[in-house]
Chain A
Amino acid sequence: MLRARDAMDRAYAEPLDIPDLARLACVSEAHFIRTFRATFGETPHRYLQRRRVERAMFLLRETDRSVTDICLDVGFASLGTFSRTFHGIVHETPIEYRLNASPLPVPTCFSMTWTRPSSFGEARTSNGT
């Protein structure tokens, strides 16, 4: 399960599919989804979605790339889906998040783990509150 999760952290921008990840974990697809959820508290699809949003938050914060480019960079196929998903999880539009955020002076592995938005919209706002 950890290998599959690490693979999602690494290859989030690629069109990952559950069968590939299940093969990586050496289990059937149904077993993979069930066991991943039991281990990490959410389905692989939801984990991947939140990882993509976290990477988008990083790029919005640390680069000048356009929102459209970032949307595609992190693996979303459409700007509409990306903006909706981003806002639903972060409670700010991508532009609002970028305007309010600053680069974080911590190792990237830490910002990758600690700024990952939660499943239930309890994500910290970009000013840390």
Chain B
Amino acid sequence: MFNAINISHIFVFDQEEALDFYVGKLGLEVSNDMNLGFMRWLTVRVPGDPNRDVLLEVPAPPGMDEKTAAQVRETVSKGGSGFALGLTTSDCRKTYETLKARGVEFSEEPTEHPYGIDCGLRDPFGNHLRIVQLATAPQQVPARKS
């Protein structure tokens, strides 16, 4: 029925500021940047992964009324947008050092878990992103005690 997930979105408050972050700091690339008149269709993707776009979407009229847009901005600003994006890497610690040097704000340093090593960061708007270096060994999930 489906072939893949091809696009998801992240709410951003300013698309130029979002580009500075997602492209300028994180190193993603622009896959689409179209002025449709009623909105700017701006998507980014991981270089080398052409089939998965992320839409950098601004909550604003006419897409939504201003009152709702303000609620969205408030919710995102206080970290209420949940897990916005997960990225994989082959070296979490190195990626962390590189991004930190570029001024990225991390909420959690690289930490080892059963599933791999991951770290947490925020974009300029409050969205929570995670970068994970997946463990190569299969994960054993312990059975719940009966």
Closest A-chain residue to B108, C-beta based? A10
Q: Is B77 in the interface zone, CB < 8 Å from A? A: yes
Q: Which of A81-129 contact B (CB under 8 A)?
A: 100, 102-103, 105, 107-110
Whole-angstrom distance between the alpha carbons of A1 and B74 in the complex? 12
**Can you list the 4 inter-chain pairs with the closest CB atoms, starting with the nearest?**
A6-B107, A105-B141, A102-B144, A2-B79
Q: What's the nearest-Cβ distance from chain A to residue B84, in Å?
A: 12
What chain A residues lie within 8 Å of B109 (beta carbons)? Answer: 10
Whole-angstrom distance between the alpha carbons of A2 and B105 in the complex? 12
Can you spell out 19 A-B residue pairs with CB atoms less than 8 angstroms apart? A2-B122, A2-B126, A3-B105, A6-B79, A6-B122, A9-B108, A10-B107, A10-B108, A39-B78, A100-B145, A103-B141, A107-B115, A107-B130, A107-B132, A108-B111, A108-B113, A109-B83, A109-B118, A110-B83
Whole-angstrom distance between the alpha carbons of A9 and B79 in the complex? 13
Cross-chain contact of A5 among B79, B105, B111, B132 (Cβ < 8 A):
B79
Question: How many A-B contacts if CB must be within 8 Å?
Answer: 43
Q: Which of B94-121 contact A (CB under 8 A)?
A: 105, 107-109, 111, 113-115, 118, 120
Closest A-chain residue to B115, C-beta based? A107
Q: Which of A1-55 contact B (CB under 8 A)?
A: 1-3, 5-6, 9-10, 39-40
What chain B residues lie within 8 Å of A1 (beta carbons)? Answer: 78
Chain B residues within 8 Å of A, Cβ to Cβ: 77-79, 83, 105, 107-109, 111, 113-115, 118, 120, 122, 126, 128, 130, 132, 139, 141-145
Whole-angstrom distance between the alpha carbons of A21 and B79 in the complex? 17
Whole-angstrom distance between the alpha carbons of A10 and B108 in the complex? 6
Whole-angstrom distance between the alpha carbons of A10 and B77 in the complex? 18
Q: A2-B78, A40-B78 in contact; A109/B144 too (CB < 8 A)?
A: no
Q: What's the nearest-Cβ distance from chain A to residue B63, in Å?
A: 24
What chain A residues lie within 8 Å of B130 (beta carbons)? Answer: 107, 109
Cross-chain contact of B77 among A2, A100, A107 (Cβ < 8 A):
A2
